[in-house]
Amino acid sequence: MAAVRGPDGRFIKAGTVSDQTAAFSAALVKAVMEATERQTREIATAILRGYQGTPGILRVNPTRRLPSGNRVGTDPSAPGEPPKQVTGTLQRELDTDTERQGDRAVGRIGYRSGSPASQYAPALEYGTNRMAARPFLRPALDAHKQDFIRRLQRIGEKLG
């Protein structure tokens, strides 16, 4: 399954995608079980592209401007809104990672531990006990679920 990792490095469970993919799982399982490292990277990249195409913080190649914040914090994002772009760090540092787990290939989206964005992305995505969340990864995942499935299906079909 294509698992997706949240900004804190923990998994956003495969279930968030695979819940809706029961009918497709035969092709997916085949693709994943027989996937090479290159194909695994392709899966992770496909998911990342889905994120990057999402209006909001993750639109790295925007045809329209993101809502901009400012560095002194007088115009912050509202609770529930995706974070406003200030330095672009959240977009720039979003990364993919792939790994073999037994006979499964796992692609992840998130921030590498130790990167500047990893210091504050979890607080934005999940909120804290003192700050309401400004989620931006899970809405992108949900909005692109069908697209992820189609991309994975194509990879599965290519593997035949």
Partner 1 sequence: MGVLQVNVWNGLAAHLDAVSSFKTAIGGRIYYGIAPEAVQRPYAVVTFIDDVPFNAFTHDGYETRVQFSIYGDEAIGHRSVIDIADKLRARLHRVRFTVVDHEPMQAVFANSRGALLEDQLWRMDMDFILRGFESGS
Residues that bind partner 1 (CB under 8 A): 6, 8, 10-13, 15-16, 19-20, 79-80, 126-133, 135, 138-139, 142-147
Strands 95-101 and 104-110 turn out to be antiparallel
Which CB sits closer to partner 1, 133 or 159? Answer: 133
Please, what is the minimum distance in Å from the beta carbon of residue 139 to partner 1?
5
Query: Who contacts 146 (Cβ-Cβ below 8 Å, separation ≥6)?
Result: 20
Please, what is the minimum distance in Å from the beta carbon of residue 129 to partner 1?
6
Please, what is the minimum distance in Å from the beta carbon of residue 19 to partner 1?
7
Which CB sits closer to partner 1, 14 or 29? Answer: 14
Compute the distance between CA of residue 142 and CA of residue 132 in angstroms, rounded to an integer: 20
Please, what is the minimum distance in Å from the beta carbon of residue 159 to partner 1?
25
Name the 3-class secondary structure at 97.
strand
Which CB sits closer to partner 1, 10 or 92? Answer: 10
Compute the distance between CA of residue 158 and CA of residue 34 in angstroms, rounded to an integer: 12
User: Residue 66 — φ and ψ, nearest 5°?
Assistant: -75, 155
